[in-house]
Structure 1
Amino acid sequence: MHRHVDAAPGIRLWVEERGPADAPPLLLIMGAQASGVGWPDPFVDLLAARHRVIRYDHRDTGRSTWAFDEQPYPITALAADAVTVLDALGVDRAHVVGLSLGGMLTQLLLADHPDRLRTATLMGTQALSSTPYVRPDGVEVPVEELPGIDPRVLELWARPVPPDLDLEAELDRRVEHWRALSGDALPFDAAYTRASERGIIEHTGHHRTNTAHGRADVFGMDRTRQLARNEVPTLVIAAPAEPVFPPPHPQHLAQVIRGARLVEIPGMGHALPPAVHAPLAAAILEHSGS
Structure 2
Amino acid sequence: MERFVDVADGVRLWSERLAGPAGADPLLLIMGANASGLAWPETLLARLTAHHPVIRYDHRDTGRSTWAFDEQPYSVADLADDAVAVLDAWDVERAHVVGMSMGGTLVQLLLLDHPDRLLSATLLCTAALDAWDVPDMPGPSLSLLRMWQEFDDPRDDAGELAWRVEHWRLLNGTTIPFDPDEFRELERRVIAHTGRPDTPGAHARAAQDGLERAAELGSVTVPTLVVEAPDDPVNPPPHARHLADTIAGAELTTVPGMGHALPAAVVDPLADALLAHTAGVRR
Q: TM-score per shorter chain, which class?
A: over 0.9
CA displacement 1:208-233 (0-9 Å, x = unmatched): 12221111100111222321001000
Match of 1:41 in 2: 42
**Paired residue for 1:231?**
221
Match status 1:158 vs 2:159? no
Q: Is the 8 A contact 1:129 1:256 kept in 2?
A: no
Q: In the TM superposition, what is the alpha-carbon distance from 1:166 to its structure 2 partner? A: 2.0
Give SS of 1:145's match: coil
Question: Size of the alignment, in residue pairs?
Answer: 279
- 2:160–2:199 Cα contact (<8 Å) kept: no
- Does the CA-based 8 Å contact 1:104-1:125 persist in structure 2? yes
What amino acid does structure 2 have at the position aligned with 1:51? H
159, 183, 206: which one aligns with 1:169: 159
| SS of residue paired to 1:153 | helix
Instruction: Name 1:68's counterpart in structure 2.
Output: 69
Gaps spanning 5+ residues in structure 1: where? 133-141
Query: Which residue matches 2:186?
Result: 196
1:248 aligned to which of 238, 248, 264: 238
Identity of matched residues, % = 56
1:100 aligns with 2:90: no
How big is the shift at 1:167? Answer: 1.7
In the aligned structure 2, how far is the partner of 1:111 from the partner of 1:24? 21
1:88-145 CA distances to partner (integer Å, 9 max, x unpaired)?
A: 1110110000000000000000011111100000011110136x9xxxxxxxxx6142
Over aligned residue pairs, what C-alpha RMSD do you find?
1.3
Structure 2 gaps of 5+ residues are: none
Supply the distance in 2 between the matched residues of 1:5 and 1:161 (Cα, whole angstroms).
28
For residues 188-216 of structure 1, the C-alpha deviation after alignment (integer angstroms, 9 at most, x for no partner) is: 00011101101100000011122211111
Alpha-carbon distance in structure 1 between the residues aligned to 2:256 and 2:278: 21
SS at match of 1:187: coil
Distance 2:213 2:55 in 1: 26
Q: Deviations over 1:29-56 (max 9, x none)?
A: 0001000011111111110110010000
Distance in 1 of aligned mates of 2:90 and 2:99: 19
Aligned to 1:109: 110
- The letter for the 1-side match of 2:147 is L
Instruction: Look up the equivalent residue of 2:19 and give its one-letter code.
Output: G
Deviations 1:177-197 (A, max 9, x none): 000000000000001110110
> How far off its partner does 1:19 sit?
2.3
Aligned residues of 1:100 and 1:124 also touching (Cα < 8 A):
yes
Verify the 8 A CA contact 1:5 1:14 in the aligned structure 2.
yes
**Is the CA contact 2:225–2:251 (under 8 Å) kept in the aligned structure 1?**
yes
SS at match of 2:29: strand
Cα distance in 1 between the residues matched to 2:209 and 2:99 = 20
Amino acid aligned to 1:39: W
Aligned AA (2:108): Q
Where does 1:1-290 land on structure 2 (aligned, <5 Å)? 1-20=1-20, 22-129=23-130, 143-159=134-150, 161-163=152-154, 165-289=155-279
Question: 8 Å contact 1:96–1:117 — kept in the other structure?
Answer: yes
CA distance in 2, matches of 1:237, 1:144: 22
Measure, in 2, the Cα distance between the counterparts of 1:68 and 1:14: 16
Structure 2 counterpart of 1:251, one-letter code: R
Higher mean Cα deviation, 194-203 or 152-161?
A: 152-161
Structure 1 contact 19–50 (Cα < 8 Å) conserved: no
